Copies of this chain bind each other. A is one copy, B any other.
Amino acid sequence: MNIPSTPVVIREVGLRDGLQSIARVLPTEHKLEWVRAAYDAGQREIEVGSFVPARLLPQLADTAELVAFAKTLPGLVTSVLVPNLKGAERALETGADLMLLPLSASHAHSLANLRKTPDEAVADIGRIRAARDAAGSRCRIEVGISTAFGCTIQGRVEPAEVLRLLQAALDAGADRVGLADTVGYADPRMVGELFEAGFKVAGDRLACGHFHDTRGLGIANVMAALQAGITRFDACLAGIGGCPHAPGASGNVSTEDLAYLFASMGLPTGLDIPRLLALRARVAQWLEGETLHGTLWRAGLPRTMQPAEAQA
């Protein structure tokens, strides 16, 4: 097996992809505590929210405040999702380090999620790039190709269309691109093949894998992307997450299980798993009654991975 031993980054997207799928509004003070504790557990990329109108996603209305706090933490890459130029302008104002622009490979999902065709969304990338450059900002523009492995509305999504949009996103000014299995349709073979093809289009600018665990294959899909050469993954603490326009899409891969996967194989992540599990317990209290996911928290670390003093 071709498993690299290079460092791997887990970008926490629970505060955005996770919380947007949960109806209740988590108080800002808890979100701030989450960001702080995730940072203390070693997370160095956190998507703290989304610049969408508060009437659409009241859960994320405090995104600007979260960016402001996150920027006080040295070395933290603060990322926000932006659906359009207006959102990008707010991201630039707040000084976020990274803007994540969704671009649906499914025409039907694109209309449902962004009320734009994929090519209209590509045009937006160009406008956002121009605004970023005009502002003299160093905020990175990352485009996530959503529904890259299939769509609950449209069904099959052609790999050729995904690759066309990867190229279009780069041509329009994206600094980086990623592939997302928004609805949990991917399998390891598809993941391996599409990422391999994606690298031929985008080279090392293909720099993120985003997987849901809707049908139990999330971690296996991460492995397939890792074997294809991806070393940066989105994940949500406690496996929360979904997409409001992708029915049944619940459950990102969980941060703590992913951290365990990499640690067990000896890949450095900089993450402190017991601290992540402690944070998960706090988040579970805040979200009491919501369906959470993930497996490690039940069993804990294996005896072979516990600190020496605990093995006595």
Instruction: Enumerate chain A interface residues (CB-CB to B < 8 A).
Output: 1, 3, 150-152, 155-156, 183-185, 187-190, 192-193, 196, 213-217, 219-220, 222-224, 227-228, 248, 250, 254, 257, 260-261, 264-266, 294-296, 299-300, 302-304, 311
**Is B303 within 8 A of A152, CB to CB?**
yes
- CB of A104, distance to nearest CB on chain B (Å): 16
A295 contact from B150, B189, B216, B265, Cβ within 8 A: B216
**Is A303 within 8 A of B260, CB to CB?**
no
Known: A224-B223, A299-B184. A257 touches B3 (CB 8 A): no
**Is A215 within 8 A of B299, CB to CB?**
yes
Query: What CA separation (Å) do A254 and B300 show in the bound complex?
Result: 20
Which residues of chain B have C-beta atoms less than 8 A from A219's C-beta? 216-217, 219-220
Known: A217-B219, A220-B219, A260-B215. A185 touches B295 (CB 8 A): no
- CB of A276, distance to nearest CB on chain B (Å): 13
> Smallest CB-CB separation from A223: which chain B residue?
B220
Query: What CA separation (Å) do A215 and B273 show in the bound complex?
Result: 13
**Is A295 within 8 A of B213, CB to CB?**
yes
Which residues of chain B have C-beta atoms less than 8 A from A250's C-beta? 299
Known contacts A1-B196, A216-B295; can you find 18 more A-B pairs with CB under 8 A? A1-B189, A3-B189, A150-B302, A152-B303, A187-B264, A188-B223, A188-B261, A189-B264, A215-B257, A215-B299, A216-B219, A216-B260, A216-B296, A217-B219, A217-B257, A217-B260, A220-B223, A248-B300
**Is B295 within 8 A of A155, CB to CB?**
no
Which residues of chain B have C-beta atoms less than 8 A from A228's C-beta? 1
Query: What CA separation (Å) do A106 and B187 show in the bound complex?
Result: 34
A216 contact from B184, B193, B196, B294, Cβ within 8 A: B294
Known: A217-B261, A219-B217, A299-B215. A304 touches B188 (CB 8 A): no
**Is B220 within 8 A of A261, CB to CB?**
yes
Can you pick out 18 interface pairs between chain A and chain B where the beta carbons lie within 8 Å of each other? A1-B192, A1-B193, A3-B192, A150-B303, A151-B303, A184-B302, A187-B265, A188-B261, A189-B265, A190-B265, A215-B302, A216-B254, A216-B260, A216-B296, A217-B219, A217-B257, A223-B224, A250-B299
A303 contact from B155, B188, B189, B265, Cβ within 8 A: B155
Which residues of chain B have C-beta atoms less than 8 A from A224's C-beta? 1, 223
**Is A188 within 8 A of B302, CB to CB?**
no
Which residues of chain B have C-beta atoms less than 8 A from A152's C-beta? 302-303
**Is A257 within 8 A of B216, CB to CB?**
yes
- CB of A304, distance to nearest CB on chain B (Å): 5
> Smallest CB-CB separation from A184: which chain B residue?
B299
